[in-house]
């Protein structure tokens, strides 16, 4: 028996004497980060981390505490702190929150450490910058580029006898070159995510990153008006981020979700399909079990535009008499919540060019400039987001456009989906999307 399990069993025994139930979530890992600037090594950081978070259930109350010290004394002290918090926080659910029972979960073989020489890792980091600089004379610099090698683990033990662990290894990186021509300057970028070192394709990252920058040089202002818009596969994840919390049964219960009262109703285009899939290896949110230790499962969220399910953990499944979907989400330092894993939008049959040829004028939205908090109001679903992209007329590129704001309502946007593309964005995101054609949105430009 390892030290962690031995120490936890002592704590579980103490919890039983205290009339409580206890859960311990451990997470951590190792990472190596390397970056070059002006063809010189600029950043080299190797880190290790580990943390243990306790959740103590005392009747209808829950208490939390965490520590980065995994010694027996520290773990016991942290348990007692969580127990005291459970006694102090008089939440009183009226029922005892259940813990996950030991079950067999799907095996996911994503822990595959490779013995890669440091020189080869440094070469990847160096080439991300170097190849961007040499690819096009208009590239002035590469302000952001990086290579990361990561190992992560998560382990959950509880007083019901559960003890489950999941480890994974992966590589990631990015390059954001800055292009300049005359008075115009634009920064674009591209990244990669790979489970095997041999799968890293530097040339593809460089080609797409440089093209994303230089293709937007000389951008013109867009005339204010309503336009059909193709939201690029790399940007539709922002739309999913807007509705992300609406699926949480906790948000529904607290009256914060715009999906409240709409279960089983058709509230999106019939062409909109959305699946939560924790086993999809293209996504970054893979896991065999959730943060309570319950076995992961696929969950249909939208089918032909109909809202099919909310996401639940054990507490809210019981509280709201909903199916248990195993979507507990927390870190050792946070309280239990509910969140999706990999959200996958069903593909359509149209090529990007076919989507761009759908109307006389179509905006191809290639970047939300300010991020989600730049102009989204979760309580109403309204958004007003600064963005950049390209204007097409009769399927032909007119040119790059910028300095415009796209406005609308996210629920109306879902209803106005006309077609979806037949290709997905690259692996490495927890939101897997095709290009999406929206029949009309408001644009404020020149």
pLDDT of residue 60: 87
Residues 180 and 245 in one domain: no
CATH number at residue 177: 3.30.2290.10
Residues 210 and 239 in one domain: no
In the chain, the number of structural domains is: 2
**Which residues are 172's β-sheet partners?**
148, 193
C-beta of residue 67 within 8 angstroms of C-beta of residue 51? yes
Q: How far apart are CA 428 and CA 421, in angstroms?
A: 19
Residues 184 and 123 in one domain: yes
Reduced to 3 states (helix: H, G, I; strand: E, B; else coil), residue 207 is helix
Give the HSE-up count for residue 2: Cα atoms under 13 Å, Cβ half-sphere.
7
**In a domain? residue 396:** yes
Residues 6+ apart with CB under 8 A from 253: 316, 319, 320
Give the H or E element holding residue 200.
none
- Backbone phi, then psi, for 2, in 5-degree steps? -75, 165
pLDDT of residue 92: 60
C-beta of residue 112 within 8 angstroms of C-beta of residue 87? no
Residues 140 and 246 in one domain: no
Residues 178 and 291 in one domain: no
**In a domain? residue 53:** no
Q: Which of 250, 257, 303, 253 is nearest to 276 (CA)?
A: 303
Q: Residue 229's domain spans which residues?
A: 219-445
- Backbone phi, then psi, for 39, in 5-degree steps? 65, 20
Length of the chain, in residues = 446
Q: Print pLDDT tens along the chain (446 aa).
A: 699 999 999 999 999 999 999 999 999 999 999 999 999 999 999 999 999 999 999 988 999 999 999 999 999 999 999 999 999 986 666 788 999 999 888 889 899 999 999 999 999 999 999 999 999 999 999 999 999 999 999 999 999 999 999 999 999 999 999 999 999 999 999 999 999 999 999 999 999 999 999 999 999 999 999 999 999 999 999 999 999 999 999 999 999 999 999 999 999 999 999 999 999 999 999 999 999 999 999 999 999 999 999 999 999 999 999 999 999 999 999 999 999 999 999 999 999 999 999 999 999 999 998 777 778 999 999 999 999 999 999 999 999 999 899 999 999 999 999 999 999 999 999 999 999 999 999 999 86
pTM of the full predicted structure?
0.95
Residues 234 and 174 in one domain: no
Q: Token pair 């090698």 is at which residue?
A: 149
**In a domain? residue 126:** yes
Residues 182 and 277 in one domain: no
**In a domain? residue 272:** yes
pLDDT of residue 299: 98
**In a domain? residue 173:** yes
Residues 185 and 322 in one domain: no
Residues 256 and 135 in one domain: no
C-beta of residue 208 within 8 angstroms of C-beta of residue 201? no
The crossing angle, in degrees rounded to 10, of helices 72-88 and 3-17 is 30
**In a domain? residue 195:** yes
Residues 286 and 362 in one domain: yes
**In a domain? residue 181:** yes
Instruction: Give Cα separations from 438 to 123, 185, 307, 320 (angstroms).
Output: 42, 29, 19, 35
Residues 138 and 281 in one domain: no
Q: Which of 6, 95, 7 is nearest to 58 (CA)?
A: 95
Q: How far apart are CA 388 and CA 402, in angstroms?
A: 5
pLDDT of residue 124: 98
**In a domain? residue 137:** yes
DSSP string over 126-174? HHHHHHHHHH-TTEEEEEEEEEEEEEEEEEEEETTS-EEEEEEEEEEEE
Q: Token pair 């025994």 is at which residue?
A: 13
pLDDT of residue 439: 95
Residues 249 and 331 in one domain: yes
Q: How far apart are CA 140 and CA 37, in angstroms?
A: 12
């Amino acid at each position: 028996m390892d030290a962690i399990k031995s120490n936890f069993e002592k704590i579980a025994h103490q919890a039983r004497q205290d009339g409580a139930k206890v859960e311990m979530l451990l997470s951590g890992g190792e990472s190596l980060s390397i970056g070059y600037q002006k063809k010189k090594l600029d950043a080299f950081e190797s880190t290790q981390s580990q943390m243990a978070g306790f959740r103590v259930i005392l009747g209808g109350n829950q208490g939390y505490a965490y520590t980065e010290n995994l010694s027996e004394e520290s773990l016991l002290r942290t348990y007692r702190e969580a127990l005291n918090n459970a006694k102090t926080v008089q939440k009183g659910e009226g029922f005892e929150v259940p813990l996950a029972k030991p079950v067999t979960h799907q095996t996911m073989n994503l822990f595959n450490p490779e013995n890669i020489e440091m020189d080869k890792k440094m070469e990847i980091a160096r080439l991300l910058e170097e190849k961007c600089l040499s690819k096009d004379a208009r590239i002035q610099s590469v302000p952001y580029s990086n290579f990361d090698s990561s190992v992560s683990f998560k382990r959950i033990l509880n007083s019901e006898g559960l003890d489950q662990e999941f480890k994974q290894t992966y590589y990631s990186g990015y390059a954001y070159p800055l292009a300049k021509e005359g008075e115009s300057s634009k920064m674009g970028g591209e990244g990669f995510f790979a489970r095997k070192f041999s799968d890293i394709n530097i040339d593809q990252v460089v080609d797409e990153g440089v093209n994303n920058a230089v293709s937007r040089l000389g951008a013109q202002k867009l005339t204010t008006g309503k336009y059909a818009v193709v939201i690029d596969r790399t940007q539709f994840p922002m739309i999913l981020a807007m509705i992300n919390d609406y699926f949480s049964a906790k948000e529904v219960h607290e009256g914060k979700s715009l999906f409240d009262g709409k279960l089983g109703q058709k509230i999106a285009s019939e062409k909109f399909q959305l699946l939560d899939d924790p086993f999809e290896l293209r996504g970054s949110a893979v896991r065999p079990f959730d943060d309570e230790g319950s076995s992961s499962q696929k969950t249909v969220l939208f089918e032909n535009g109909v809202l099919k399910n909310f996401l639940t953990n054990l507490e809210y499944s019981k509280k709201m008499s909903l199916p248990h979907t195993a979507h507990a989400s927390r870190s050792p330092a946070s309280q239990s919540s509910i969140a999706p894993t990999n959200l996958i939008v069903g593909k359509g049959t149209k090529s990007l060019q076919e989507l761009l040829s759908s109307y006389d004028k179509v905006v191809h939205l290639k970047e939300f400039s300010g991020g989600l908090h730049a102009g989204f109001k979760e309580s109403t679903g309204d958004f007003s987001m600064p963005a950049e992209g390209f204007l097409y007329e009769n399927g032909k590129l007119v040119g790059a456009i910028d300095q415009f704001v796209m406005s609308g309502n996210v629920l109306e946007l879902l209803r106005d989906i006309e077609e979806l593309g037949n290709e997905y964005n690259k692996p490495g995101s927890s939101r897997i999307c095709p290009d999406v054609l929206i029949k009309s949105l408001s644009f404020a430009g020149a």
